[in-house]
Chain A
Amino acid sequence: EDQVTQSPEALRLQEGESSSLNCSYTVSGLRGLFWYRQDPGKGPEFLFTLYSAGEEKEKERLKATLTKKESFLHITAPKPEDSATYLCAAYSGNTGKLIFGQGTTLQVKP
């Protein structure tokens, strides 16, 4: 069964304290791995798409990487405005479905 698991469920960081969020997946025929950011009461906001192992993408303080079994979202020197829930999703080319993880809720304290 296709599955996406994110860890940790919650993460508290001090401003400037770098860390990584993990997304493990078992998806048949992976055709894309997506990262989203979701603020309370809002819809998810697209961050990155990764298509093949070894691929990396960066945006400001965020960097996403992909291996054959997992993806990481690295946050460098986070700021309080980075506080949000980060969702990862894997698209299965076999089933045509986008499967989301449960998310990691990040809180960055000043």
Chain B
Amino acid sequence: KAGVTQTPRYLIKTRGQQVTLSCSPISGHRSVSWYQQTPGQGLQFLFEYFSETQRNKGNFPGRFSGRQFSNSRSEMNVSTLELGDSALYLCASSPLGSMNTEAFFGQGTRLTVV
């Protein structure tokens, strides 16, 4: 059974640019959550999508957005990049959502903003 796949693994962008990250969940999983991980703040919840609808949102500015497609694949977009957006972005999938069972994480996308 294939795990959660995130692409790309590494990304370098310049301040002011925008970026799109992709996440393919485990087959059959309908929930995809996104997290930002930094050494100072740890893992912080960005948002969760379930059946193409945003079900929950963390405390991040509107520059961070996402969407989910009918095949459950999800994308996260960050516009007008800032240096502080440099982080490991992780996505996790679960069958129904974090409340019911464990979430399986991908390897992450390491974003560096210069």
Interface residues of chain A, those whose CB is within 8 Å of chain B, are 31-32, 34, 36, 41-46, 49, 87, 89, 91, 93, 95-103
Q: At the interface, is chain B mostly helix, strand, loop or mixed?
A: strand
Q: Shortest Cβ distance from A84 into chain B, in angstroms? A: 14
Given A34-B102, A46-B102, A46-B103; A97-B108 close (CB under 8 Å): no
**Which 10 A-B pairs give the minimum distances between C-beta atoms?**
A43-B105, A100-B43, A46-B102, A102-B42, A98-B98, A96-B56, A44-B105, A31-B99, A43-B107, A91-B98
Interface residues of chain B, those whose CB is within 8 Å of chain A, are 4, 33, 35, 42-45, 48, 55-56, 58, 90, 92, 97-99, 101-108
How far is A87 from B43 in the complex, measured between Cα atoms in Å?
A: 9
Contact A43 B101 (CB under 8 A): no
Which of these, B42, B48, B101, contacts A100 with CB under 8 Å? B42
Given A97-B58, A101-B42; A45-B98 close (CB under 8 Å): no
Contacts of A45 in B (CB 8 A): 105
Given A31-B99, A96-B56; A43-B42 close (CB under 8 Å): no
Contacts of B44 in A (CB 8 A): 100
How far is A32 from B99 in the complex, measured between Cα atoms in Å?
A: 7
Contacts of B104 in A (CB 8 A): 46
Contacts of B99 in A (CB 8 A): 31-32, 91, 93, 96
Nearest neighbor of A44 in chain B, beta-carbon distance: B105
Q: A89-B43, A97-B56, A100-B45 are in contact. List 14 more A-B contacts (CB 8 A).
A: A32-B98, A43-B90, A43-B92, A43-B107, A43-B108, A44-B43, A46-B104, A93-B99, A96-B55, A98-B45, A100-B42, A100-B43, A101-B42, A103-B42
